Amino acid sequence: MKSKNSPRTGKSSRNIYCQLTPPTPPPNTKKEIETEVNELTALIIEAHAKTGKWVTEKPDIYSEAIRTQKETRNRLRRVWQRSRHPEDKRNFNRAHNSLKKLYQIRDNRNYTNEITSLSPQDGSVWKHIKRITRVNQKMPPLLTENDIAYTNEDKANEIANSLEKQFKNNDLSHPPTECIVREKVRKFKKSPITTPIIPCKASEVFENICKIKNNKSPGIDKVSNNMLKRLPLKTILRLTELINAILKRQYFPKAWKTAIIVPIPKPGKNPQKADSYRPISLLSTISKLTEAIILKRLTSITEEKLVPFQFGFRKKLSTTDQLLRMTEIIRDNLENGRDTGAVFIDIAKAFDRVWLEGLIYKMLVMSIPDGLIKLMNSYLHGRGFTVRVGNSFSSGRSIEAGVVQGSKLGPQCFSIFVNDITRNQETLLCMYADDTAIMSTGVSQQEITDNLNSYLAELGRWLIKWKIKVNVDKSQAVYFTRKRSTPPPPKLYRRPIPWSNKTVYLGVEIDKTLTYKNHIDKIRNKFKTAKQKLYPLLGKHSKLSLDNKLLTYKSLLRPIITYASPVWGAAAKTHLKKLESLQNAIARQITNSPWYFRNKNILKDLKLQTIAEHTLKIAKTFFRKIDNSNNAAIQSIPDYDPASPRKKRRARSQLLR
């Protein structure tokens, strides 16, 4: 019986945790905060090591038969190698084939047992799905300027070099703004605090610990979410004192400012180039817990001050809300004989290149309490990272710009930074984090073009002022009209953005007449790809229980179909029928139904709604939420009677089905 080399903390004893976390006086200085962070982290790691229960491997029930057959096969091979007689070779081959069959029987039995034991209650079904759908791609040698990186350490350093250049301010300058920002921030840093941050209670810390997900990778301190969830009350009280010291001194510990970056290949990019990898940051779990406490205080102040058309990372607002707002305005204009021109801006490295001094300045302008701003200043500055490839790490690197990737506070910081974006009466803005669309409406094509060009000129000046770079080549423009002619394309920085017949905004492909045909075809292709990956679990020969097959479909495949369905759910019936066929096919597959069974009977037996019925249910809930929203941008969506006759059905028309 062999033991695995990792303890299971699920059966750990809290008593040892208590013994390893003796009471200490709360820290009062920055140095004491750093010491307390290091001591508390070390104690949690030590408790984890001492309380883990070792789990032994289960014996292989086929090992004796396989061992005997291996001995027979090896003996016959030695006989044949000595004699070279054809009969001895045949005996060896027969023994070898018998051994292969035993291996196959063992593997099939083990896989069947594993599949039949999967359950959503313990999360095993989701772990298995993740394992079979994950693409395990080994990083190839990376091409550098003068050499090739073969080892994991060299690869990590090469990617770190690329990211270090990425986490810097854009090479844009506006001296008057820089002078104003620098002077205001300098005075602020020297001024005493007038508004301290409200301290937290142990109940608030405990509530946030309960909300964190179990299976998340730890940061550089190796403290996992599971460890936090198993802390006794005594340690939670000590952790609360530490967080309150951070709030009181407006100081964020240096030990929490280093991120481990795991590079993930970008689809469609050359994997041999260092800039073809997306950085995924792993931060300290205690740091993210502290961020959640800070975020609650920051959000309570900034929520009412953010522009209403910014829907990104805000409560009760989603991508579907913004898509509905945009498409309903366009559809309303088409019904009333007006065209709409829209420009979709692509911001380069939006989160990674936020000007930090400019962000602090905008917090001051927004009248956020000075204590909170000083803490945010400490949180944002002096950060670093190291890249991990396999088990190798790069050397430590510094971060000069950008909000913290993978953090709780990052999205809110970005929303504050772009909150003063240029706006005027002739254009309409739609924003979800950095996904920005500018729309202009009118009867005259010239009027629409002039309005867009006028706004884009103002926007260009604002972007340079705050060191934000736009990829003009990747930006798109769509002219929503039923006419054949289009006006001259809008321009940004004197470069034209040509009109396109369609674009993808927030995951939905929008064409210039809002038919959604291309989007529904895209859904079909995406669904079929995902279905193919899940075939080992959902195929007709799979041993997974029918209930788990149905759960897998409802959780992973059906959401591909229904994403943003309140927006496109009123498309033509010929398009929507294509989606019904997807569900019918998967229902027949998971039940292994013969050809003569009717689809409606299969769905009835499975207690599965048709796609039309399911999207109707989603639409009713969604529009009820929209009608009760207090967001000014949502309230400005044109109102109409869905029952009135019209040439093209609108989003609310699906409620009449």
Q: Using one digit for the tens of pLDDT, what is the confidence trace for 245-270? A: 999 999 999 999 999 999 999 988 99
| Position 60 pLDDT exceeds 90 | no
> CATH fold of 322-348+425-511, please?
Alpha-Beta Plaits (3.30.70)
Rounded distance between C-alpha atoms, residue 239 and residue 203, angstroms: 12
pLDDT digits (tens, 9 = 90+) for 314-324: 999 999 999 99
pLDDT digits (tens, 9 = 90+) for 91-102: 999 999 999 999
- Phi, psi (5° rounding) for residue 653? -65, -25
Q: Which two tokens stand for residue 119?
A: 């359950």
pLDDT digits (tens, 9 = 90+) for 410-431: 999 999 999 999 999 999 999 9
Q: Which ranges of 134-281 would DSSP assign to H, the alpha helix?
A: 152-166, 175-190, 202-211, 225-229, 233-249
> What pLDDT, on the 0 to 100 scale, is given for residue 117?
82
pLDDT average, residue stretch 34-62: 77
> What pLDDT, on the 0 to 100 scale, is given for residue 21?
58
Q: Which two tokens stand for residue 178?
A: 């820089």
| Position 13 pLDDT exceeds 50 | no
Instruction: Using the structure block, give the residue that is written with the tokens 């080549």.
Output: 473
Amino acid of residue 142: L
Q: Which two tokens stand for residue 383?
A: 């950060």
Please give the model's pTM, rounded to 2 decimal places.
0.88
Instruction: Using the structure block, give the residue that is written with the tokens 């967080």.
Output: 243
pLDDT average, residue stretch 111-118: 82
> What pLDDT, on the 0 to 100 scale, is given for residue 52?
61
Rounded distance between C-alpha atoms, residue 101 and residue 597, angstroms: 37
- Of 418-422, 556-560, 615-619, 640-644, the one with minimum mean pLDDT is 640-644
pLDDT average, residue stretch 390-419: 95
Q: Indicate the SS3 state at residue 470.
A: strand
| Position 488 pLDDT exceeds 90 | yes
pLDDT digits (tens, 9 = 90+) for 269-304: 999 999 999 999 999 999 999 999 999 999 999 999
- Residue 2's pLDDT band, with cuts at 50, 70 and 90, is very low
In sequence order, the 6+-apart residues with CB closer than 8 A to the CB of 608 are 550, 583, 587
In sequence order, the 6+-apart residues with CB closer than 8 A to the CB of 226 are 9, 10, 214
Rounded distance between C-alpha atoms, residue 631 and residue 634, angstroms: 5
- The residue ranges of every structural domain in the chain are 152-312+349-417, 322-348+425-511, 517-656
